[in-house]
Every structure is written in structure tokens, then in C-alpha cells.
Structure 1
Amino acid sequence: MSYNRRKFIRNAGLIIGASTLPISWSFATSKQKKLGVCLVGLGYYSTDLLAPALQLTEHCQLTGIVTGSPWKIPVWQRRYGIKDSNVYNYDNMHRIADNPEIDVIYIVLPTGLHAKYAIKAANAGKHVWCEKPMARTEMECQSIIDACNKNKVKLSIGYRMQHEPNTQKIISWANSKPFGKIKTLIAEAGYYDSRSDHWKQNKEMGGGAMYDMGVYPLNAARYTTGEEPIAVLKASHTTKRPNIYTEVDETTHFTLEFPSGAVAYGKTSFGQGMNTLQVTCEKGSYGLRPFQSYSGIQGKASDGTLLNQRVDNQQAKQMDDDALAILNDTAVMVPGEEGMRDIRIVEAIYEAAESKKMVKL
């Protein structure tokens, strides 16, 4: 169900009022169809965050699940009223193509499986939402983009922070430069993971701190400067638990150079809690702490400006924004190309860490 903007506003009787509403809500009405969303993978993020958030959305609803754990099915059906006909496993999820109650397939699997199942979703003719990081390699990212383009479906990557209002203010400052030219920024994201046998410690599954948490400071460096880095100046991996982190990085440091001369210092870890974005400019500074938590994003600028806008639920806002892009046939906020740019740089960071040399982008 897609709408030409002018036609939709006319039919909804919102010609006068639409211009006074926030952009993300301008075309919405209570009569507009809700998109049916199918979650693929019922781990922590789906169970504790996305499914509850879908109950808070205005433009989408949970209508289907794909799982390889049969024991989870009755629990989800009781909790969310999911029909038997809307329950799938990984072998038969292609049959979603024949299900009109599912409009969007949301891939919430380990990173190493994203490409395989995002392509299956696109080939089923459904719009694709894919959790970050988009995939393990730039080539895998491109394969997802190609499948979505071939099937004429929209693709959005789950960078919830780009939907968050305080982050959006910082993104706008990349253009307006209220404190002058950016000189340096520090972006750090991590937590202590006590697990010793998890897919995030498995290279083949797309584990590693740089993939999982590292895309937060990396993406922040890009949206804060509004530029694409021209080089990974240096990068390194460290671990305090070499018996656990045998295949992937526990902690990664990286330094990026941008065309304007700005330098970003990034850090990410499974061995240490951190959650900071700090920007130093010619005429002042600003930042967020925390900058990528599920709630409570806040910060301030050197002139006293507070960055403390609240959003009830980040995941709900993200999914509503992405649903409206489908309903109104407009561009998604975070397309596949955005996710692929990060993965290209992630690969370069690993290359720089291994070679101990600068890697040009």
C-alpha cells in the first residue's frame, strides 16, 4: 500500500493541517492501514524490545514470527495473538510471499545470517528491515541491496539512534556548524559481557566488539561530521580475556580522518562499559552521555544548550518512521547504502589493526 503524497493528503483531508505537523506524522491518519511485521529470530532483542515496542506503534503491528525454536511458538501466540498461519521456520519462511497479513520482514539474527535471510525476505516480495550491523562484508551488504532493488521492496537498517531527537539535533549541526568547524570527536560504546560461549564471540557468526558495538561510534563519527572518512589512521585490538576472545576482538580502538581535517577517536568493547560522544569545535563543544542507550539520551553544548528531548520508545519511533516511509512511498531514513558504508569502514579498521598501517578509504 503506497501513496503519492499529494493524492494521500487530498484524500485524507489534510491539505491545511499537514504542513503544521512534524514531518514523520504529516501523512498519517487513524484510518491508514497498519503494516504487518514479522520478526525473524526471537532472541533477546525481539523478545524484550521489538515485540513490546510494536505494541506501542501507530503504523505497524506484530503479525508473524520466524523461529527455529518450536517451544517459543505457544508463548508468543498467547502473548501476541499470532495466528498459526503466520508462524514460520527458517526452511519455510519463503511462503510468507503468499501471506497478505505480513508486509515487512524484520531480520533480527546474528550478523553472519543477515544476508541469507534478508535476501529470502526480499525474494518473498516483502519490505525488509535489517538489524545493525547490516552484514559481515561489503559484498554481503550489496547482495541485500540488490535483492531488494530487484524485488522493488524498501530496505531499512535498524540504526535507531538516527531516529532519536537529540541525535537528530547533532546531525543537523553537521550542516549548520553553530560552533564552527569540527576539530576532533570522541565516540565510545561498550559494555561488560560476562558470557563465555555466545555467537558474539564467534567470527563466522559476525561476532566481535567492532561489529556489534563498534558501529555505534563509527556511525556517530559519520553523522556528527556529515562526512565520509578518507582514512583509518590507525586501529588496534586488545583483550583481557584471551581464553574467551580467541576469534574476535574484545576491545577495539580506531582513529578516522575526514576530508575537513576532523579526526575521530573511536573505542568499543565487550570488556568495559562506556557510552560517550564528545565533539570539540573551533568555537565550542557539545556531546551526549549516554549517546546510544535505549533511553535517557542527553547532553549539552558549551553555550548552555541542553540536548534533553525525550522519546517514549526508541524502537517504536524507528519502526513507525520506517512504516510511514512504506505507506507514503518516501525514502527511508537509514537505507541499505548507509549500513554498507559502515561495513566498508569496519573491514578497513580490521585491516589497519592487522597490518598496523594506515588504510586509505
Structure 2
Amino acid sequence: MMNSMTSAETTVAIAVPLEAELVDRIRAVDPSVTVLYDPELLPPERYPADHSGDPDFRRTPEQEERYWAMLNKAQILYGFPNESPAGLARIARSNPHLEWIHAMAAGAGGAVKASGLDAATLGKFKVTTSAGVHALPLAEFAALGILNGFKRTAEMAQDQAAGIWPELRTPTRLVSGSRLVVTGLGEIGLETARLAKALGMSVSGTKRSVEPIDGIAEVADNAGLPELLAKADAVVNTLPGTPFTEKLFNREVFAAMKPGTVFVNVGRGTVVDEEALLEALDNGQVSYACLDVFAVEPLPQDSPLWNHPKVTVSPHTSALSAAENRLIAERFCSNLRTHLDGGQLPHLVDTVHFY
């Protein structure tokens, strides 16, 4: 079935910084697509995939008017305006032609929720995410966290900083033959499982709909998580932040872990009760935590996580790679082709649960 809008009427506006050659790739999807792109109106990137751009960038009043006029001409947006919930709210109210926005983030549900738009307004257009684009870098970071915990790199760094050569040699743990639990067996979780199995780990995990997955030893829902954790040597969280995952990792869940479990979080910080995590670190239930996300970001300066000897703090950067802009643009091009052909767009934001 073809899209009800004729392809000749399809206009895409680039709302966030993007290299000109990638804009050309979007233009090449179909000759009938018009792409609106004015780099003068977009903040310069400070690093690859800096979707918000330089925070010191300011448009003149004339440029601001041109920016919003450009976006209001389009049925499809590449990125949230100004890469912000406020920008999303404004365009949703001002653009009567809006059909679809593609978000740069894998977890764009939080931004959609923060826009404050009501259900009726959100029902007028679709929001897709870049889920899957970040799967490999996040999985690699998760593998790094597991290896750090098993190989005691945090303790070695402390000894090195203090110039200490321990009198007694302390053994490290073998990753091969150990058991990993991944909470959230989506694209990131399955990529993490693939790398973990290559290291010789046995992998189990959780999924909302419990069903067998090839290569995964056990699959459970969140209610079955404590039973999985009782046998795990390491845990990687990839879950998004939703009302159903809020502080899923609480005191009871950490208590269900084997003493000495390695914990890695590449999902969302709100999934973890940070006070409960600190208690688990201090009582030895968790031997090491590698954290890329936090309940409040940036992580407050007074957070004990900054200086905890068993914690590695990453400033929510583990998904970034030099290839990110290209990968997101390729995902968008594929989605645009699907949209033009009347197909179902993948990775839609759930506007009820916001993930």
C-alpha cells in the first residue's frame, strides 16, 4: 500500500547539525523528496555526533525566523528542533503538516515525555528513535566493564597511583565459563550477549515477553530477575527509563545477587536505586560497578559514586563513536524509504510508556 501522501509532496527538514555529504545521502533516497538544509542555521559540532552543537551558538532574530519557517514547511524532521523537548513541543504545535520526526537518541522516550505534549497532539505524528545504531559501542563498553571487574583494574589503578607493589599477589577471575545476566534483551542486550558469548560466558536475561532466544540460556521477565541473579557473576543493564523500570535495581534485587557480582549500567540511570547500589558495593554484594548513566545527569559533584574505589564513572558517552552520524543517517534513509513505500516505521516511541 502506498503512503496516502504522494511522494512529490514529501519534504524533509534537517533540524540538527549534519555533514553535507550525509544530507546528500538523504536526498538520494528518492528524486521526489525535497530536503531543506541550511548549515548557517545549525550550531557547529564540537565533536562527532554532537547533535546539540556548540551551546554558545546563537541565531540572529532573522536566522531564528528562517529556522522555524524551514521546519514548518516539512512533513518529516531529521532530529528534534534545537535537540530539545521544548523544540519538539513547539514544532508539534506550529507545524500542521508534521507526520514523523526521527530522533538522534536510541532512548528518545524521555525527551518526548519531557515535551509535555498531550496524547492527542502526540497522536498526530510519529517519533522514531535511532535504536540499534548504538548497540555495538554500548556492548563493547559493557564488555569493558565486565573485564574491568573480573581483572581488578580499579584496584590496580589505585595501587599504581600510590606506587604500591602488593606483597601478596591477588588472582583475577576468569570471564570464560562465568555467567552473565542482561536485563533488557533488545538490540543492545543481544549485541552485549554476542560479545559476552565470544568471551566464553553463558548468558541469560530478561524480556517483557518471555520467549526462547537462540543462544540465551534462560529468559525471564522482571519478576523472574532475582532467580537469574542468584546464579550470575556479572549483570549488564540495558533497560530504558520507564515507570515500569524505575529503581528496578533496589535493595531486594541487589540482595538477590551473588556476593562479588560485577554490575554494568548502559541503560538508564533511573533503573538503579543509587543508594542501594552504594550499600551493595560497601557490603561486597557488588564487587565493582561500571556506570555510564545516572539518575541525575550530569552526576552531582557531591555524589559518593565519583570517588568510590569500586566504581568507574563514564559521563554518558559510551554510545558515542566517530561513525555515529553516518549510521544514524543510514538508518533514517532506510526508514524514509519504508515511509515512502507505505510500510511500518521501526523503533517507534511508545507515547504511553515513553520508551
TM-score normalised by length of structure 2: 0.41
Larger radius of gyration: 2
Structure with more of its chain in strand, by fraction: 1
